[in-house]
Amino acid sequence: GLPLLILAAVLAIYIVLGVLYESLIHPLTIISTLPTAGIGALLALLATGLSFTLIALIGVILLMGIVKKNAIMMVDFALEHEREGGQGGMAAILEACRERFRPILMTTLAALFGAVPLAFATGAGAELRTPLGITIIGGMIVSQVMTLYTTPVVYLALERLATARRRPLRRFSGAAEGA
């Protein structure tokens, strides 16, 4: 049921990002940010004593889109700097963090403040909208704090893994050409 729906959404995101970046590794960097949104949303629901409803699931799906977009901004900027400037991965991702911090913060705050009326509303139908607001607020806070730290780490770790896997192939193909 529900876990399969979330898994299908993550798989669809991975496929689209894989086609976009023509890579199997960079989509993993972006997808690595998604669990923090879900964890933050669930922690916020637990802290407020609300249950995980269909409306809260809609909030988690919305969070997945926003958090994914923020990670895409960082990874895309880093890849562009690596290609154009000849910078290494470390310099490129650190520059991406510095340059993209303000747009990421603005997106996060807009979503967070937009959810405040949902979370604290009273009146008819408020019990339906409250889990959505709480989910968005909790997910945005946790995911943004964690994403700014984890995305560079995952980016560099996967880049090193890809580089380590390419080296033996280069040596093997170079030996075949020299023979």
pLDDT value, residue 179: 47
Q: Which two tokens stand for residue 101?
A: 């911090």
User: What's the count of helices (H) and strands (E) in the chain, helices before strands?
Assistant: 6, 0
pLDDT value, residue 175: 53
- Which of 36-45, 76-85, 159-168 comes out lowest in average pLDDT? 159-168
Percent over 70 (pLDDT), the chain:
92
Average model confidence (pLDDT) across the chain = 84
Q: Which two tokens stand for residue 175?
A: 């030996």
pLDDT value, residue 10: 81
Q: What is the mean pLDDT of residues 114-123?
A: 88
pLDDT band at 47 (very low <50, low <70, confident <90, very high): very high
Q: How far is residue 59 from each of residues 42, 78, 117, 149, 178, measured CA to CA in Å?
A: 11, 29, 14, 23, 58
Could you tell me which of 103, 92, 87 has the C-alpha nearest to residue 156?
92
Could you tell me which of 169, 109, 112 has the C-alpha nearest to residue 138?
112
| Rg value, the chain, Cα | 19
Q: Are 126 and 8 spatial neighbours (Cβ–Cβ below 8 Å)?
A: no
Kindly provide the residue ranges of all beta strands, DSSP E only, lying in 51-122, ordered along the sequence: none
Considering the entire predicted model, what is its pTM? 0.78
Residues 125, 118: Cα–Cα separation, whole Å: 10
- Using CA of residue 91, residue 94, residue 100, residue 102, what is the dihedral sign? negative
Q: What is the mean pLDDT of residues 37-62?
A: 90
Residues 117, 123: Cα–Cα separation, whole Å: 12
Q: What is the mean pLDDT of residues 94-101?
A: 88
Q: For the segment 124-136, what is each residue's pLDDT rounded down to a tens digit?
A: 878 888 899 999 9
